[in-house]
């Protein structure tokens, strides 16, 4: 995942979403699956990490971008096989004529490398 303003083009639209706590912080996170209507590429998807509340009943999110695989958006589902572990998102990239790999997306926290 990495930061991006997500302004990729006019032929893109939301194709699906999944909700689950992928970073185990107790806040629900949202995976937004993006589809290219021209079928020429597989655009970046977006993960909105739930990050507490700005005000009462107003959730706050941190937007992250998921680099694309080949293919094009087909579907996304939440996978939660162990209640003691964070959820993962299963992304299917086989829309129409653009078959691509399925991806199991999991959150990896930012890693700080100590200076030597």
**The pLDDT of residue 96:** 61
Q: Which pLDDT does position 115 carry in this prediction? A: 58
Mean pLDDT, range 31-44, rounded to an integer:
76
**Contact predicate 105/31, CB 8 Å:** yes
Task: Give me the pLDDT at residue 78, please.
Answer: 95
What pLDDT does 21 receive?
Answer: 94
């Amino acid at each position: 995942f990495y930061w991006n303003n997500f302004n990729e083009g006019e032929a893109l639209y939301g194709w699906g979403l999944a909700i689950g706590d992928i970073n185990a912080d107790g806040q629900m996170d949202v995976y937004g699956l993006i589809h290219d209507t021209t079928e020429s590429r597989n655009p970046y998807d977006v993960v909105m990490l739930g990050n507490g509340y700005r005000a009462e009943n107003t959730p706050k999110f941190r937007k992250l971008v998921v680099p694309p695989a080949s293919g094009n958006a087909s579907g996304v589902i939440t996978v939660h096989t162990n209640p003691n572990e964070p959820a993962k998102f299963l992304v299917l990239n086989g829309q129409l004529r653009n078959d691509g790999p399925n991806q199991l997306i999991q959150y990896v926290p930012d890693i700080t490398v100590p200076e030597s």
